[in-house]
C-alpha cells in the first residue's frame, strides 16, 4: 500500500508558480468553510463529500477544473466534462496566481456551495436563501415543503429541487 502524499511533498518538486496557484485556490475555498485537500499523483483535489475542484499541472500552465451543476459558457473555459451525476467540470488555464481573480473566485464559491454537497444537501443550499427572505411564512415549515419553491436569482429562475436554472414557463417550476 502506498503512503498518502502530503501537500508539501507534492509541491516540493513542482515549480514555485504552482504553489502560488495552489495557495490562492486553497485560501478562497478555506474562507468558505471546511475543505479536504487531497494531493494525488496527477494533481491536487479539493473535496467536501466529493471532489468539486481539481488542480492538474500541465507543461506550461495548471488546469483548474471547477464543478458546477450546469454548463457555463465563458471565453476562459477551455474544455468541459459532463459526468454521469449531472455535474459539468469546467477547465480553465491558469498560468499564475493572479489568474485567480474575482470571476474565478466566484466560480470556486459556487462550486463549493453546490457540488461539494451530497444530492440531498444541495436543496438545503438554495432553501436557506428562501427561508430567511419571507416575513409572512408560518413559523414551522418542513424541509420538504421548500424543495419545489422556485426563486429568482441573478435574472434566472431556480428551483431547489434540481439546483439548476429553469427557463420561464418551464412547467416543473412554474410560479402562480
b/e sequence 102-132, b meaning 16+ C-beta within 10 Å: eebbebbebbbbbbbbeeeebbebbbeebee
Q: Which domains does the chain have, with CATH numbers?
A: 7-117 (3.90.1150.20), 120-173 (no CATH)
- pTM of the full structure: 0.65
Which backbone phi and psi does 134 adopt, to 5 degrees? -70, 140
Q: Give residue 108's Cα distance to chain centre.
A: 5
What string of pLDDT tens digits covers the 176 residues of the chain?
455 778 998 899 899 999 999 999 999 999 999 999 999 989 999 998 889 999 999 999 999 999 999 999 999 999 999 988 888 999 999 999 999 999 999 999 999 988 655 444 444 444 333 334 444 444 444 444 444 444 444 444 444 444 444 445 544 443 43
Grid look-up 434566472 returns 156
Alpha helices in the chain (DSSP H): 7-12, 16-30, 102-114, 119-132, 143-146
Q: Determine the Cα–Cα distance for residues 74 and 93; give it in Å rounded to an integer.
A: 13
Amino acid at each position: 500500500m502506498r503512503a498518502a502524499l502530503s501537500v508539501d511533498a507534492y509541491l516540493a518538486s513542482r515549480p514555485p508558480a504552482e504553489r502560488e496557484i495552489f495557495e490562492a485556490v486553497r485560501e478562497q475555498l478555506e474562507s468558505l468553510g471546511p475543505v479536504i485537500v487531497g494531493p494525488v499523483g496527477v494533481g491536487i483535489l479539493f473535496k467536501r463529500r466529493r471532489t468539486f475542484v481539481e488542480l492538474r499541472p500541465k507543461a506550461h500552465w495548471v488546469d483548474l477544473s471547477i464543478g458546477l451543476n450546469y454548463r457555463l459558457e465563458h471565453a476562459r473555459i477551455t474544455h468541459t466534462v459532463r459526468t454521469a451525476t449531472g455535474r459539468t467540470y469546467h477547465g480553465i488555464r491558469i498560468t499564475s496566481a493572479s489568474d485567480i481573480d474575482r470571476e474565478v473566485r466566484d466560480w470556486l464559491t459556487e462550486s463549493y456551495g453546490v457540488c461539494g454537497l451530497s444530492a440531498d444537501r444541495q436543496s438545503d443550499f438554495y432553501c436557506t436563501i428562501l427561508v430567511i427572505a419571507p416575513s409572512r411564512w408560518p413559523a414551522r415549515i418542513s424541509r420538504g415543503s421548500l424543495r419545489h419553491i422556485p426563486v429568482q436569482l441573478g435574472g434566472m429562475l431556480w428551483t431547489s429541487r434540481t439546483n439548476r436554472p429553469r427557463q420561464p414557463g418551464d412547467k416543473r417550476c412554474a410560479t402562480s
